[in-house]
Chain A
Amino acid sequence: MSESRTFRLQRAMASLILDDEPEDIGAPAERLGLPAGDPQAFRDQPEAMDLYRELARLSLTEPLETTFPVLKALLEGAEVWEDCAQAFLSARVVRSTHYRDIAPSFLGWLVDTGWGQDRWPFLAELAHAELLEVLVARFPEADLRQDLHDEPGPGDVVWLDPGTQVVAYAHAVHRATEAAPVPEARPTHLLAFRDEEGEARVLELTAATATLLVQARTRPLAESAAALGLSDPAPALALLRDLRRQGAVLGFRAPH
């Protein structure tokens, strides 16, 4: 079945917005086999078509600029930010109608394509770290659980707040800044969570603490601590009490 004229006109507009700037703005419509009057209409309205290209591209790239300022500074320093944005737009990976999903779409595209990571192997980690606080701050609310208690016991498992993230990076990407955007290469463990005020907070963890937090979600605390060579679980229990007070941990319960 041949595609309708309306559909082909919409595709031509999408191409004009997302693809490399054509020398002839009527070319996308012409390639799609539209009647001669349609490509001509594009050519007859160059200022308006430029405006649409600018407005729509701004809608899609503004969330990247606000969410990934350090990554942008790094790529601007190497004069490839525009290339990166163009490659992202051309890939047409923004599928969600939720505006807040544009930045996660960019991260997904970066991971899937490996764009720029021959030169900057930390690029996806850097983008993930920049997005982390936003994702945690806006994580959907969960229903209150009635089966948790506040005081951890050696036989309990840990129940993290659903928004809490324990992440591991090969680079200290959380320390990168716009002025110094290249992170040090060293294993890094972070705990990102939402505090009582609903604000995102990020703590740097030791490798042992990060492992304990991951393992103790399914194994009793004493067993998890022993597996890590911690003969005395008391310091771990004290840390978990503190994380519960801060909001990262919802509570504790006996394993099923």
Chain B
Amino acid sequence: MAQGRSPGSFQGVGLGLRRAHLDEVAAREDHGVPFWETCPENLIGDGGRHHRLASAILDRDPVLTHGLAISLGGFDPWDGDYLRELDRFLVRAGTPWHSEHLCFTGVDGSCLHELLPLPFTHEAARHTIARARDLQARLPVPLLLENITYYAHLGEPEMDEAAFIAEVLEGADVGWLLDVNNVYVNALNFGFDPKAWLTRMPLDRVAQIHIAGHKKFGSITVDTHGADVIDPVIELMQWTLARLGRPAPVLLERDNHIPDFGDLLAERARIQAAYDAALAPAKTEAAPAEVVRV
């Protein structure tokens, strides 16, 4: 069973633990990946060979947890059984925090299994803040919220995305899982400068960063997690890390067109080199920060 690890012990570029790689990851402790990220919904209540492999890896290696379908901004009551299982899972995993998406995924008890955008309104912000505070009170570790890609405004907006996210993060007093690819994709789709967008945000709340690939369909760029990360997104990660001045852990997401483990390790190494370069001036001075404030 994993011991609880401090937030500062998570640094560098980690990978999502994928079913296709479980045999190789379990077989080699020298994989060089500083931490894994896993989705509790995919492991809780599951069984069989893949589950056994994943559990053994998570008991051996450092892990961060990332939820997909809790519907933070939705209206359905929490699933009490799931939250009890999640509590046990997070403690067992020894994760220093748990992240969920700033979105809704279900309506009227029906789970849509898609990250759907919340209305950028004050009413939606108040509702989401109350839900986030309530969820935080039920978790054994600090809660982070992740900014999603959105392809449309849900209804007529009262504010822009940056103002909405900042209002929720500050109001709920939770940490931020900053997905720089999502910022980049949203900037492409809605025509704004991602760095100017980031300068408006409470970067002191960033505890973790996500990075991924994307693809254009028609006139819309989609966050596919199915391609290598392009240089402008890596540069945005570096710009953010330099701005933070501390080694926040970065997670390379790859959920589609999953390459061989060796190729994924090479992609991770490429991003790790960029990570190290971005932090080179700051690393000698900045102690690993206890960045989650909740």
Chain A residues packing against B (C-beta within 8 Å): 4-7, 9-11, 13-14, 17-18, 29, 34-35, 37-38, 40-41, 45, 47-49, 51-52, 55-56, 59-60, 92-100, 102, 137-141, 163, 194, 197-199
Contacts and interface: CB of A to CB of B under 8 A. Distances in A.
Given A14-B107, A55-B114, A98-B41, A41 B51 contact: no
B155 A99 contact: no
Interface stretch (B116-124, B225-233, B279-287): B116-124
Contacts of B261: none
A97 B155 CA distance: 25
Interface string B71-115: 101110001001000000000000000000000111111111110
A95 B48 contact: no
A38 B116 contact: no
Given A138-B48, A194-B48, A197-B49, A56 B116 contact: yes
Contacts of B112: 14, 17-18, 56, 59-60, 94
A49 B73 CA distance: 19
B191 interface: no
Contacts of B124: 6
A37 B111 contact: no
Interface of B: 41-42, 44-52, 68-71, 73-75, 79, 82, 104-114, 116, 118-119, 121, 123-124, 127, 151-157, 217-220, 222
Interface centre among A5, A10, A37, A199 (most CB of B within 10 A): A10
Given A11-B108, A51-B220, A4 B127 contact: yes
| 6 smallest beta-carbon distances between A and B, as pairs | A198-B49, A37-B156, A48-B152, A140-B47, A56-B114, A97-B69
A97 to B, nearest CB: 4
Interface centre among A4, A29, A40 (most CB of B within 10 A): A4
A5 B154 CA distance: 11
B114 A17 contact: yes
Contacts of B156: 35, 37-38, 40-41
Contacts of B49: 137, 197-199
Interface centre among A95, A102, A197 (most CB of B within 10 A): A95
Contacts of B222: 51, 55
28 contacts: A5-B121, A5-B123, A6-B75, A9-B155, A10-B75, A10-B154, A13-B154, A41-B153, A51-B218, A55-B114, A59-B112, A59-B113, A92-B108, A94-B112, A96-B111, A97-B69, A97-B105, A98-B41, A98-B44, A100-B42, A137-B49, A138-B46, A138-B50, A138-B51, A140-B46, A163-B48, A194-B48, A198-B48
